[in-house]
Structure 1
Amino acid sequence: MALKIGDKIPDILGINQDGKELKASDFTGRKIALYFYPKDNTPGCTAEACSLRDGYENLRSAGYEVIGVSKDSVASHRKFADKESLPFDLVADTDTSLNQIFGVWALKKMAGREYMGTVRTTFLIDENGVIQNIITKVDTKDHAKQILNL
């Protein structure tokens, strides 16, 4: 059952690029822009991460913490964060459990091939851990502005 607007998110989010466990309760009192993306170091995912990096101070000023999630490993996230100078956490959801809880792990099609993968989605969560908005049509090149304009 996928989480929806009005649902409280789970406390345990996963392990970040530094090997530290992240919990929603670590961010109590701050809003969270929790974005799910398919893969580190791919064109769309890099554009999205860099948009969030470039708009990070504006997002923080609006009260948001930014957290990215993909099924890549901690080591992959570390390299990606270093390469792109990302100032926010990336959660390694290697078993896709968080993807599944949020309902973004789904059957995808590309070049006539079907496979399971992450559907690019951003969840905007309030200071109490409750989902307030869900962005399913992500503008990868301008995602920070897209979040701020909601």
Structure 2
Amino acid sequence: MTSRLSANDSAPAFSLPDADGQTVSLSDFAGGRVVVYFYPAALTPGCTTQAIDFTGAYDELKSGGVEVVGISPDPVEKLAKFRDKEGIAIPLLSDEDKSVLNAYAAFGERVLYGKKVEGVIRSTFVIDVDASGNGTIAEAQYNVKATGHVDRLRRTLGV
């Protein structure tokens, strides 16, 4: 597993398909700030709560100069179903081979119901992307809770 990322580390670049199969890359956010959050599985209770919370805050975040993308190992088709069923407004990206999850150290051993398992570590990163499309981690949060996370993040960002 990759070492956990911290503030001031370089953000690993990515290019992944969204729920419509269109490629979204870190460099697409050049000159701005983006929240990249990793979640275990679409259409599950905690992940639905988190995605709906990000959707509810999306306009305010955008007004504050912050974009948001969610990344999971789900296939594109499942992401489209999730987006449509729950009215998710933020881009959802598919990382089926877990290469980006691994690059961000958001996949590995975690505790689930008291047992150690391998899986997605619910994580959130605030990334400043320079004009050339290279990112720097401004904030790295691992093992976040789905409920209340977006409100805490908004306070951290001042949005």
Give the structure 2 partner of residue 122 of structure 1: 124
> Normalising by the residue count of structure 1, what TM-score does the alignment of the two structures yield?
0.91
57 and 23 in structure 1: CA distance in 2 versus 1, 3 angstrom threshold: same
Q: Secondary structure at the match of 1:103?
A: coil
Match for residue 21 of structure 2 among 19, 22, 28: 19
Identity %: 33
Shift of 1:51: 0.5
Q: What RMSD in Å do the two structures reach over aligned CA positions?
A: 1.6
Structure 2 residue 135 is the aligned partner of structure 1 residue 133: no
C-alpha deviation, 1:113, in angstroms: 4.8
- Contact 1:33/1:124 (CA < 8 Å) preserved in 2? yes
1:106 to 102, 105, 108: 108
* Partner residue in 2 for 1:38: 40
After superposition, the C-alpha distances for 1:42-97 in whole angstroms (9 at most, x for unaligned) are: 11111100110111111111111110011000000011111111111111110111
Letter in 2 for 1:106: G
Structure 2 residue runs of 5 or longer lacking an equivalent are none
Q: What is the letter of the counterpart of residue 142 of structure 1?
A: G
Question: Are the equivalent residues in 2 in contact too, given 1:70–1:91 (CA < 8 A)?
Answer: yes
> AA paired with 2:91?
D
TM score, norm. by length of structure 2: 0.86
Q: Provide the residue aligned with 2:150 in structure 1.
A: 144
Equivalent pairs counted in the alignment come to 150
Contact 1:62 1:148 in 2 (8 A): no
Alpha-carbon distance change, 111 to 139 in structure 1, aligned in 2, over 3 angstroms: closer
Q: Distance in 2 between matches of 1:137 and 1:118?
A: 10
Structure 1 segments of 4+ aligned residues over 6 angstroms from their partners: none
Check conservation: 1:139, 1:146, Cα contact below 8 A.
no
SS of corresponding position for 1:69? strand
